[in-house]
Structure 1
């Protein structure tokens, strides 16, 4: 692959929010309230509830909009969804359930499987969902492009000549960068629509979202292309074009509320976004509206013209699971090591006694576990639930 070549790696969904006119039962609310109280104690123990094969952690606080319970099927990790529930009494708003889907499961499963998973959870929670009653509040579509030579310029974003907006207002544009290099350009604001171009490679390195590497490599392999060489920016410069359609844009402009509405109108929504906001290449013409569309924009336009409902990554999910487990294990090990050093410093332990102090601390921890077997068993069960460990 030549360093200057530009390739579309993958297209998929990166975000989804959806609400349902459903209300949990008093019994289910009691389980969530008990779990929330456990989390509220502030001793580091996170409460969780189990019901009919469904298991969720419960945060110490709810969420705006009257949601009393903020639950997580991924235990605050990159997997699963965040669920918001209103208490079954004292609330006149019928929209008692909201779900916010994370990027990783959407990338792995696509929209069809994600929808099926949500509806399966609703059924297991005893909620009688009627298809067509849902309200989609947000959908994000992302295209990842290997573009080694791309150097975005805010001035190269323009509105379409036929658009009622003749120029892109500075109040609608956010540019982020460092060391003289632009890393992201965002056009538009919530609750309407955003079109974003950003350096996904830089974000992955900054946030530790290493699961994107195997997802990209699997997509490249399917196209007959070599994997990304992370040691060279020119060989792994992945840029993302993301279109985010929020509730007002979906409902007021496109009359999109249900799954059926979204499937029917999504291609038009994406095409209109890419036509209204264009990334172009200057050619010397005094009329910026006549500048040709950048090859990057053409790649994205062709990609989102296809039916995207069943898009899913070709990567083996076991690879992602193993990677996430290794990352969590490394994070916990570093935390333990750091805490040991801090405790040694607090207790004036000399360097020569550091090893013996750590071993003694480990023995002390084991003895403490043995003195409180029931509490230890409960905490271990919670940790296994959180991290997917083997249950004895």
Structure 2
């Protein structure tokens, strides 16, 4: 099908929803609010009226998906020494690396054996990835933190930052943070064919534009990759199967998702360079101007249009009705439900562990010709014991001591429990002494 025919089909299809879009937009024209430049503008509407075609567009959630914060300040010398010792520990044998943990107010952080950039220390759990500068560093911020999207599905950005600040206070002197990056998103259900338009329908200041397909299924668009702003419109249901962010599905259902329709996400990634250009570097400043920022992104930086065959001036092309609906998101309202429970640990589900164990059980059954479940359990237990005993013999420790080490390694990785500390001994002899005290030789 040539591009002219595709554009004609797009034009005919969208006429059927234009009236519903007008209803949505008009429902929001009830007051005035400040634009980025201080002028007055019409506020958007965040909900679709009952008489709008909800099969075409149903907003589910909107908010901040990723947040990167930079805290000016200085790490204390005491914490620097502690983290340096734990990082060294993490670089030793696995049995000692399991002790490389750092506890802060209910968070049991894994101390990484490596860090990145100019920050020598990295600690991480399911809520935060915290990179810390050395105590003698003067030009660097004390902490550079990524707040996880999972935690932001549980807490609003201001509440998440407040909790994060309480964790950082004991580590040194800090000042209010600057926002280094923030990702804004809208999740929505729609029966619109997201592949129905051509690349020319995107009118943008960005230079790069890509579309993606997986296993013959169209998965989305990416605009401006690598720039100070990047936009993505993609199938979120497909993505969460890979990222394991299945906690989003109950939130979508709570917002009215039918459990069957495709859920799409429009997401903008804003880096510090753009935020500075817009005049916002603090989290309160950004939070108070999200409607203006969203308006800039949806009108000045990027638009989805219906290409005209008679008008070559792209800025005059009519805006696609789906884009009008997305632009009507009201960032001054609550962006849908939040998780009621949350854990900072990174544990896999018991179901996923059971699935892996069941695969091992079926494998031993196939190897030994055992179709009875209980017989296969006995055979797998025997094989695991022999394997554990052989590894322990090679290391010169008991099989129970080795199994404890394996558990502690995962407790560090999962952030579930604080492992017993090493005995207080000199650095040069702590490994040997630890072995002597814990394994008895």
Which TM-score applies when normalising by structure 1?
0.76
Partner of 2:290: 266
In the alignment, which of 46, 51, 61 is matched to residue 10 of structure 1? 61
Partner of 1:94: 140
Equivalent-residue separation in structure 1 for 2:354 and 2:75 (angstroms): 39
In the alignment, which of 130, 133, 145 is matched to residue 188 of structure 2? 145
Equivalent-residue separation in structure 1 for 2:227 and 2:369 (angstroms): 56
* Structure 1 residue matching 2:116: 3-state secondary structure: coil
In the alignment, which of 111, 135, 152 is matched to residue 58 of structure 1? 111
CA offsets 1:295-325 (integer angstroms, 9 cap, x no match): 322222121x4326x656344326xx6xx86
Partner of 2:379: 357
1:109 touches 1:312 (CA, 8 Å); kept in 2? no
Question: CA offset at residue 336 of structure 1?
Answer: 4.5
CA offsets 1:247-306 (integer angstroms, 9 cap, x no match): 11112x113222233234433222111102101234654334333222322222121x43
Per the alignment, do residues 331 and 386 of structure 1 end up closer, same or farther by CA in structure 2, a change over 3 Å counting? Answer: same
In the alignment, which of 78, 82, 101 is matched to residue 129 of structure 2? 82
Question: CA offset at residue 362 of structure 1?
Answer: 4.6
* Structure 1 residue matching 2:290: 3-state secondary structure: helix
* Structure 2 residue matching 1:23: 3-state secondary structure: strand
* Structure 1 residue matching 2:299: 3-state secondary structure: helix
Equivalent-residue separation in structure 1 for 2:163 and 2:144 (angstroms): 14
Per the alignment, do residues 316 and 82 of structure 1 end up closer, same or farther by CA in structure 2, a change over 3 Å counting? Answer: same
Partner of 2:74: 23
Question: CA offset at residue 373 of structure 1?
Answer: 5.8
Question: CA offset at residue 390 of structure 1?
Answer: 8.1
* Structure 2 residue matching 1:108: 3-state secondary structure: coil
Map 1:1-392 to 2 at 5 A: 4-41=55-92, 43=94, 45-46=97-98, 47-51=100-104, 53-64=106-117, 66-74=118-126, 80-89=127-136, 91-123=137-169, 125-131=170-176, 134-152=177-195, 153=197, 154-159=199-204, 165=205, 169=207, 172-178=208-214, 181-220=217-256, 227-230=257-260, 236-251=261-276, 253-276=277-300, 277-282=302-307, 284-287=309-312, 288-303=314-329, 305-307=330-332, 311=335, 313-317=337-341, 327-336=348-357, 350-352=368-370, 355-363=377-385, 371=398, 380=407, 383-384=410-411, 387=414
2:64 touches 2:182 (CA, 8 Å); kept in 1? yes
Question: Structure 2 stretches of 5 or more lacking a match?
Answer: 1-49, 420-441
* Structure 1 residue matching 2:230: 3-state secondary structure: strand
Which TM-score applies when normalising by structure 2?
0.69
1:151 touches 1:181 (CA, 8 Å); kept in 2? no
CA offsets 1:147-197 (integer angstroms, 9 cap, x no match): 1233233232114xxxxx5xx53xx21222245553221212445111221
Equivalent-residue separation in structure 1 for 2:216 and 2:382 (angstroms): 51
Per the alignment, do residues 20 and 355 of structure 1 end up closer, same or farther by CA in structure 2, a change over 3 Å counting? Answer: closer
* Structure 2 residue matching 1:210: 3-state secondary structure: coil
Question: CA offset at residue 53 of structure 1?
Answer: 4.7
1:148 touches 1:238 (CA, 8 Å); kept in 2? no
2:304 touches 2:323 (CA, 8 Å); kept in 1? yes
Root mean square deviation, CA, Å: 3.5
* Structure 1 residue matching 2:155: 3-state secondary structure: helix
* Structure 1 residue matching 2:114: 3-state secondary structure: coil
Per the alignment, do residues 52 and 107 of structure 1 end up closer, same or farther by CA in structure 2, a change over 3 Å counting? Answer: closer
Question: CA offset at residue 81 of structure 1?
Answer: 1.1
Question: CA offset at residue 145 of structure 1?
Answer: 1.0
